[in-house]
A and B are shown apart, each in its own frame.
Chain A
């Protein structure tokens, strides 16, 4: 039985993609214009509160020419990839193990609950003492953040795979491994992908935080030194890049990945943890 549409949201033909992009660009354009106006002679906002877009751009070009900008970006991304790789591999593996083995779950879950509660940036002071002010501390913090997000979402994904799916593979003569490969991993994929996607988002944020405290290089350092030395153009540039890189990772890697698997299979993900 079909449910007619409502008067609340009347069916409207979908507009082309460029139009959506154009509409979404409007608030950015407005913000940019407001910024420009506020910092222009008419707006009169002083430079020590907010420098003009032009000043920020000049500063960006200068940093780029010196090479510090590129090296900051590359070192941030490098640590991110390292921490994320460790965290996600371990998270998926342990998530599947805990999701399929009662004994492991009974032992591991109470520990996971506690360590998840303090996962991420809360470890920074200890990491700094243990690993020093270096890339190791930063990578450890990212790993710690990503691991729990991926682990919990994988676990939830495994737990929501219907038992009949596993049973059907067993009755077809499949082994435990077949069950894991054919039913559990594809069935848990929506959860895994949500975990990876959330893991990248929050991992990236804890990277910035860890860099502020624990390292001499990276975008986190750029913005924090900007604060200490009162170089607002540095901060704004860093802020812009932090958002841009995070959004690029999300929209260019994970959104298409999700679209290609889950949405095509018609299985959808639960809310992120």
Chain B
């Protein structure tokens, strides 16, 4: 007991000097018992290997897929599709969100239609997209754009509506017109909400691209996972899931999240939210 706590203490002190090591420990530590339990289940032979391979099979499968089936190339293809679709959804979402956020008439008229289109969802449209546009990248990108559009749209609209009105008034009394109000006040004021919307949208868009690939593509991360299913390669599927999860976490933590907190902190969110 005392020995154990002493060891833990030494470990903790050692970690305190190396913050990155501490962060690693904090974030990866919980996976150790999970993987250990997985290994034990495998050793107990409750299910056949093909049903649940050992944890060690996953890095092996990863190495195999990288060397033998061009995993990086497939992943790049997926990233290209999700980026293109995401940017399209972002652009369209901001544009329409700004229009609906600044015009009472448009808001009244379009709100019902947009709610409905969101409820249908990208997967509902996918069969029609395929018939109209074919089994190709364009269809996948369109589907991703459809997913990303809605969170961005609602973020932009809500962000614009939350900007204090006096800010717009101040620009008007300085001689500005509607254009200045939009560029100096409404869009910067909505920017944190737009970025949040984009972040949420990309989270769903990342899933959509993999799903769309499973259904209609010949190349890509989703395709790899889906084909693994027909060969009964659970290890390949697991590689796909780990790659998908890690890629998204890295993008989110190191690109989208910093972007979001930067605007919010620098401008003082309490001012924006009022």
Contacts and interface: CB of A to CB of B under 8 A. Distances in A.
B155 A28 contact: no
A114 interface: yes
Contacts of B142: none
B56 to A, nearest CB: 18
Contacts of B28: 110
A243 B113 contact: no
A160 interface: no
B214 A271 contact: no
Contact of B131 (A128, A213, A230): A230
B248 interface: yes
B44 to A, nearest CB: 17
B165 A239 contact: no
Contacts of A244: 119
B244 A209 contact: no
A164 interface: no
Contact of B109 (A26, A117, A130, A272): A26
Contact of B112 (A27, A106, A226): A27
Interface in A181-235: 201-202, 204-205, 208-209, 212-213, 220, 223-224, 226-227, 230, 232, 235
Interface stretch (A5-13, A62-70, A84-92): A5-13
Contacts of A8: 102, 165, 168-169, 181
B51 A205 contact: no
Contact of A126 (B108, B158, B234, B252): B234
A254 interface: no
A169 B108 CA distance: 44
Query: Secondary structure of the B side of the interface?
Result: helix
Contacts of B131: 49, 227, 230, 232, 235
A118 interface: yes
A238 B119 CA distance: 13
A207 B185 CA distance: 41
Given A27-B110, A212-B123, A6 B165 contact: yes
Contacts of A27: 109-110, 112-113
A208 B123 contact: yes
Given A106-B26, A243-B119, A227 B127 contact: yes
Contact of A111 (B30, B204, B214): B30
A113 interface: yes
A111 B252 CA distance: 16
A28 B132 CA distance: 21
A114 B120 contact: no
Nearest to B236: A125
Given A110-B27, A129-B229, A129-B237, A250 B51 contact: no
Q: Interface centre among A107, A204, A209, A226, by most B CB within 10 Å?
A: A209
Interface string A139-151: 0000000000000
A213 B214 contact: yes
A261 interface: no
B69 to A, nearest CB: 16
A239 B128 contact: yes
B51 A129 contact: yes
B124 interface: yes
Given A111-B31, A114-B249, A124-B214, A205 B123 contact: yes
B273 to A, nearest CB: 11
A238 B126 CA distance: 12
A220 B214 CA distance: 15
Given A23-B108, A25-B112, A243-B124, A272 B200 contact: yes
Nearest to A230: B131
Interface in B217-253: 225-226, 228-229, 232, 234, 237-238, 240-241, 244-246, 248-249, 252
Most buried by B among A118, A213, A223, A224: A118
Given A28-B113, A271-B196, 20 more contacts: A6-B169, A7-B169, A24-B109, A110-B28, A111-B30, A114-B31, A115-B245, A122-B241, A125-B225, A126-B241, A128-B229, A129-B232, A202-B204, A205-B122, A227-B126, A227-B127, A242-B124, A243-B116, A243-B120, A271-B197
User: Considering the complex of A and B, which 10 residue pairs feature the smallest CB-CB distances, nearest first?
Assistant: A24-B112, A227-B127, A243-B120, A246-B119, A205-B121, A117-B245, A27-B113, A247-B119, A6-B165, A118-B245
27 contacts: A8-B165, A8-B169, A9-B104, A12-B104, A24-B111, A25-B112, A28-B112, A108-B30, A110-B26, A110-B28, A117-B246, A117-B249, A118-B245, A122-B240, A122-B241, A122-B245, A124-B226, A125-B228, A208-B124, A209-B211, A223-B126, A227-B126, A242-B121, A244-B119, A247-B116, A247-B119, A271-B193
Interface of B: 26-31, 34, 51, 102, 104, 108-113, 115-128, 130-132, 155, 158, 165-166, 168-169, 172, 181, 193, 196-197, 200, 204, 207-208, 210-211, 214-215, 225-226, 228-229, 232, 234, 237-238, 240-241, 244-246, 248-249, 252
